[in-house]
Amino acid sequence: EAGVAQSPRYKIIEKRQSVAFWCNPISGHATLYWYQQILGQGPKLLIQFQNNGVVDDSQLPKDRFSAERLKGVDSTLKIQPAKLEDSAVYLCASSWTGSNEKLFFGSGTQLSVL
């Protein structure tokens, strides 16, 4: 089966600019996640969707980050305006619905904010 697709693979922007990342989950997976992985740290959940509804966005910095999954399939994550500390790898993952189902991760988008 096709994996989780993410684009772009790399992005370099200056602080205060805007950036958007795209994710296409595995077909049929109702649950989609965005994680932020800062260098040397483990991934941290930013937001979890169930179909097109938000399940958990408690760690999303809502003053600058936004995410949507309008049709319950693809998702976009946006940062506006970006800060230096947003430099990280942004990982998208998807899974079947249900506890203990394993997550399938994309290769991530590496963001550098200069």
Partner 1 sequence: GNSVTQMEGPVTLSEEAFLTINCTYTATGYPSLFWYVQYPGEGLQLLLKATKADDKGSNKGFEATYRKETTSFHLEKGSVQVSDSAVYFCALSEQGAQKLVFGQGTRLTINP
Name the minimum Å distance from CB 104 to partner 1: 8
Intra-chain end-to-end CA distance of the chain, in Å = 37
Name the minimum Å distance from CB 17 to partner 1: 26
> What six digits make up the tokens of 103?
């997550």
Q: If we measure between CA atoms, which residue out of 36, 16, 107 comes closest to residue 77?
A: 36
Nearer to partner 1, 57 or 81 (CB): 57
Name the minimum Å distance from CB 41 to partner 1: 5
Nearer to partner 1, 21 or 33 (CB): 33
Nearer to partner 1, 22 or 104 (CB): 104
Nearer to partner 1, 44 or 83 (CB): 44
Which residues partner with 37 through β-bridges? 89
Collapsing DSSP to helix, strand or coil, 86 comes out as helix
Instruction: Give me the torsion for CA of 81, 52, 89, 12, rounded to 10°.
Output: -40
Name the minimum Å distance from CB 26 to partner 1: 12
> How far is 61 from 3, CA to CA, in rounded Å?
28
Applying CB under 8 A, the residues found at the interface with partner 1 are: 3-4, 31, 33, 40-45, 48, 56, 91, 93, 95, 98-108
